[in-house]
Amino acid sequence: MKSYHALIIGGGGTGGALAHDLALRGLKVTLVERGEVTSGTTGRHHGLLHSGGRYAVKDKESAVECIEENLILRKVMPGTFEENDGLFVAITEEDVEYSRLFIEGCTDCGIPTHQLTREQALAIEPNLSPNLILAVQIPDATMDAMRMALRFFATAKHNGAEFKTYTEVLDVEKTGGTVTGVRVVDHRSGKESVINADIVINAAGPWSGKVADMVGVEVPIRPSPGVMLALEGRLCNMVINRMTPSGDGDIVVPQRGLSVIGTSSWVVDDPDNLGLPSDHIEKMYAEGEKMIPAVRKAPFRAAWSAARPLIGPRGADTGRELSRTFKCFDHVDEGVEGFVTITGGKATTARGMAEATANVVCQKLGVDAPCRTREVVMLPHTAYFTG
Ligand SMILES: Cc1cc2nc3c(=O)[nH]c(=O)nc-3n(C[C@H](O)[C@H](O)[C@H](O)COP(=O)(O)OP(=O)(O)OC[C@H]3O[C@@H](n4cnc5c(N)ncnc54)[C@H](O)[C@@H]3O)c2cc1C
């Protein structure tokens, strides 16, 4: 079989998962990342392995993707997750009303639920609000955002993929309507060079619109930042979600010895210019303390923002209304051959996004190799540095 060369732009979880999938299918893989791997949104998210519960009422496509990948990743990345489950907590009568829609939505999407009384929930999570009325347990889990993604990178590297970090794509090379490679700058040496490839894949997350502009194709990406607040002390052991439609400060994720509250949502044009609005940080305290009153008094550790790569029209307002699903674009429809974009989705769905994209890539190149990432157990994250 001819060995085709695939070049991936972007070293987040999506690019890493794609490198893993394509390397297993026998392709020569090069990934270029302008910073360190996971230095984009991937290294800055909550660290929640979604059960899909958050999306089960209004965004069922994404909810189904999350629960499917949640179950696969537990098998192929043993030891990565704190399998602590999550609770959706109702603290007002309105929340209780929503819990009926929530359980119905979860059932439709194949997400198991277990309803707990106020007393049962307080027995396992004593810091929950005394206003608690009921809680519903779902299979959320906690992860270290960087280490989870590094398992894709480690395994891909072991299978021959090459990672060029601090290497930024400045332009995409084309002959006629066909993409033939990329022009990059190595930020360590300052040297520019061209890397040729049989196919180029844009996995630049919230930057994927900027990369698409280099080729002259359209990717309807809306970079949508959110603010997160880390407090010292583990205020809960399970992931605590508010029993409401998605909103600001509706989740508290226990991370090692910290509690991370998130998040808000707005849209920006430039993912390199997010800002950190102070009123959003205050909102995290205000909403978080409704679920766990100890939030207000816990010592501050850090606050930061990161941008979701959401797919949606330019008119989108806050990003809340946009689906969390993903999409793979084959730009052949726009008259460009040899260039594919994968964007949208969640860290939780990176493997599934990679499978869908690798199917498109292999079909375009005429490579007949099935996806193996549902079964192959990945190397530990440390193998990225030692392997
Ligand atoms: C506030 C917030 C909380 C979230 N919480 C969760 C959560 O708990 N669980 C979950 O599953 N998901 C969560 N998400 C979503 C998740 O973080 C993202 O969907 C995911 O990390 C996107 O990964 P990616 O690889 O597509 O993008 P990125 O991680 O952003 O990777 C893209 C990479 O491309 C690189 N790049 C850009 N331009 C170039 C160029 N020209 N040349 C070379 N490299 C380039 C960037 O440096 C970057 O590293 C959250 C998102 C946000 C914003």
In this structure, the answer to whether residues 204 and 228 fall within a common structural domain is no
Measured CA to CA, the distance from residue 112 to residue 40 in angstroms comes to 32
Q: Are 280 and 244 in contact (CB under 8 A)?
A: no
- In a 3-state reduction of DSSP, which class is residue 129? coil
Q: Are 201 and 325 in contact (CB under 8 A)?
A: no
* Number of domains forming the structure of the chain: 2
In this structure, the answer to whether residues 294 and 343 fall within a common structural domain is no
pTM for the model stands at 0.98
In this structure, the answer to whether residues 238 and 282 fall within a common structural domain is yes
Query: The CATH number of the domain where 233 resides is what?
Result: 3.30.9.10
pLDDT in tens, the chain (387 residues): 568 999 999 999 999 999 999 999 999 999 999 999 999 999 999 999 999 999 999 999 999 999 999 999 999 999 999 999 999 999 999 999 999 999 999 999 999 999 999 999 999 999 999 999 999 999 999 999 999 999 999 999 999 999 999 999 999 999 999 999 999 999 999 999 999 999 999 999 999 999 999 999 999 999 999 999 999 999 999 999 999 999 999 999 999 999 999 999 999 999 999 999 999 999 999 999 999 999 999 999 999 999 999 998 766 566 777 778 899 999 999 999 999 999 999 999 999 999 999 999 999 999 999 999 999 999 999 999 996
In this structure, the answer to whether residues 303 and 354 fall within a common structural domain is no
Measured CA to CA, the distance from residue 43 to residue 143 in angstroms comes to 11
Last residue of a domain, one of 265, 284, 311: 311
Pairing of strands 178-186, 167-175: antiparallel
DSSP line for 228-273:
EEEEES---SSEEEESSSS-TT-EEEEETTEEEEE------S-TT-
- In a 3-state reduction of DSSP, which class is residue 168? strand
Within a domain: 97: yes
Q: Are 18 and 203 in contact (CB under 8 A)?
A: yes
* Residue 198: C-alpha distances to residues 143, 181, 202, 279, 322 (Å): 35, 8, 14, 48, 33
The protein residue with its alpha carbon nearest to ligand 1, atom 10, reads 347
What separation in Å is there between the alpha carbon of 42 and the centre of ligand 1?
A: 4
Short-list 346, 256, 254, 350, CA closest to 306: 346
What separation in Å is there between the alpha carbon of 327 and the centre of ligand 1?
A: 15
Question: Which atom belonging to ligand 1 lies closest to the Cα atom of 226?
Answer: 1
The predicted pLDDT at position 316 comes to: 58
* Residue 270: C-alpha distances to residues 36, 45, 318, 324, 362 (Å): 20, 18, 15, 20, 32
In this structure, the answer to whether residues 205 and 329 fall within a common structural domain is yes
The predicted pLDDT at position 317 comes to: 67
Mutation test residue for ligand 1: of 46, 48, 268, 324, the one with most atoms within 8 Å of CB:
46
Within a domain: 108: yes
In this structure, the answer to whether residues 167 and 209 fall within a common structural domain is yes
In this structure, the answer to whether residues 128 and 226 fall within a common structural domain is yes
Domain holding 185, by residue range, is: 5-42+146-220+323-386
In this structure, the answer to whether residues 230 and 126 fall within a common structural domain is yes
In this structure, the answer to whether residues 378 and 275 fall within a common structural domain is no
In this structure, the answer to whether residues 215 and 252 fall within a common structural domain is no
In this structure, the answer to whether residues 337 and 303 fall within a common structural domain is no
The predicted pLDDT at position 299 comes to: 98
What separation in Å is there between the alpha carbon of 98 and the centre of ligand 1?
A: 31
